[in-house]
Amino acid sequence: MLKVNLTDHQYEIQIERHLLKKVGEWVSGLWQPQRVAIITDTTVEALYGSEVKTSLEAHGFEANLFVVPAGEESKSLEQTALLYDLLAENGFTRSDGIIALGGGVIGDLAGFVASTYMRGLHFLQIPTTLLAQVDSSIGGKTAVNTKNAKNLVGTFSQPEGVLIDPEVLETLDERRLREGIAEIIKSAAIADKELWEALKNLKDEFELRERVEELIIPSLKVKRKVVEEDEFDNGSRLMLNFGHTIGHGIENTAGYGVVSHGEGVAVGMVMISKHAEKIGQTPQGTTDQLIQMIEKFHLPTSLENLDTQAIYQAITHDKKARGKQLKIILLEEIGQAKIVAVPIETMTDYLQQEEQ
């Protein structure tokens, strides 16, 4: 169990195999009996929806399953409006709660709905993908996408608790597993040399799946540290965006769901490090270490036919942009990163490297 201690809010992250079977007991330790909306997607609902609903009902909760289509396309204002209507039609008030049961898309969408419907309902996270378990389920960022950019509309709203059951990863397909591995690589690269060494000692993603608890906890500790230091993303929390500025642009221009978040981040880490090495901002050889690690887990280090102009346009809409500047994350070495403010137009140099 880990605790997240913020200035005005504290919550616990429970991490244990088979914990999903005890979800009703867990929620009853946090909330009084009330209406609960379990927001999930079609894939996760088929696997765990009935189990979670039944467990909650057995502990006195009035549970409703609200199911959205699986995929990044559901992280939209249109889907948000549909969920608002469902909540209203089922009589939800500010005394009731929402549980996100799913991956990062569901966590972001359900969190955004919970923080904005009637100005805020109780909210819990049950992440069912590796990406969500090591990254998006903690920290309080909620958001939906627009046609202009990923995560453009959102709130900061912390959950009241997070339940992580590594056992659910057994039903995760290989591509979705790798998506989470990209975030673990990122966490190790920016802040944890021991985690980097642990990754180096693994043969591949299949061995990683068997020993995943050993990686989830240190990854969460990396994120917890920066969230506690900078809850609202104005300073050190920006470190978590290593690879994301370009990665989000790639996701956006490819069409959400075509390139996964983890694939975009993997390519973004390599692209930004290559140019940083070229201009002396990152030590020589760092990118090669990144490439070796990323390729070991069968993630891409480059993509063909990137529309660099379209990616640049997406970056200019990125929420990390401040006026004519953008703060990017560069590696000082493996395990240590820095925040560098650059003129937005210089991002074209980072994007052109695949053509050099």
Could you tell me whether strands 336-343 and 97-102 are parallel, antiparallel, or unpaired per DSSP bridges?
Answer: unpaired
Element (H, E) at 100: strand 97-102
> 183: which 2 tokens?
């975030």
- The dotted CATH code for 174-355 is 1.20.1090.10
Q: Which two tokens stand for residue 113?
A: 């709905």
Q: Are strands 62-68 and 321-322 parallel, antiparallel or unpaired?
A: unpaired
Digit-by-digit pLDDT tens for the chain (356 residues) are 999 999 889 999 999 999 999 999 999 999 999 999 999 999 999 999 999 999 999 999 999 999 999 998 999 999 999 999 999 999 999 999 999 999 999 999 999 999 999 999 999 999 999 999 999 999 899 999 988 778 889 999 999 999 999 999 999 999 999 999 999 999 999 999 999 999 999 999 999 999 999 999 999 999 999 999 999 888 899 999 999 999 999 988 888 779 999 999 999 999 999 999 999 999 999 999 999 999 999 999 999 889 999 999 988 876 566 668 899 999 999 999 999 999 999 999 999 754 43
CB within 8 A of 197, min separation 6: which ones? none
Domain span(s) for CATH 1.20.1090.10 in the chain: 174-355
Q: What fold is seen in the domain 2-171? A: Rossmann fold (3.40.50)
**In angstroms, how far apart are the furthest CA atoms of the chain?**
62
CB atoms within 10 A of CB 78: 9
| DSSP bridge partners of 66 | 39
The pLDDT tens digits of the residues spanning 44-92 come to: 999 999 999 999 999 999 999 999 999 989 999 999 999 999 999 999 9
- The phi and psi torsions of 303 (rounded to 5 degrees) equal -135, 145
Distances (CA, A) of 241 to 43, 111, 203, 326: 28, 20, 27, 12
CATH 3.40.50.1970 positions along the chain are 2-171
CB atoms within 10 A of CB 34: 16
